[in-house]
Amino acid sequence: MGGMGLIMSLIIGGVAGWLAGNIMKGNGFGVIGNVIVGIVGALVGSFIFTLLGLHAYGILGSLIMATVGAVILLWVVAMIKK
């Protein structure tokens, strides 16, 4: 992964984490927290999309996949905390 790929991953992770935070709690987690949630969410989303036979192409597809994964991640964390 080149420098631009890393930067795009961080940007997509940050936006996905922010979106997931807004969907699940009504606010984000700060810049670093959003990026971490988004990147881990992208891994979760990639795993789930693969299980379902779905593919994400381009920046928008990556953003959707990362957001879905981040929402699932936050939902699982919320269930564990209860």
The structure's pTM equals: 0.87
Split at pLDDT 50, 70, 90, the class of 3 is confident
> In 50-70, which positions are buried (b, 16+ CB within 10 angstroms) versus exposed (e)?
eeeeeebeeeeebbbbbbbbb
Which pLDDT score is estimated for 26? 61
Split at pLDDT 50, 70, 90, the class of 29 is confident
Q: Tens of pLDDT along 41-76? A: 999 999 999 999 999 899 999 999 999 999 999 888
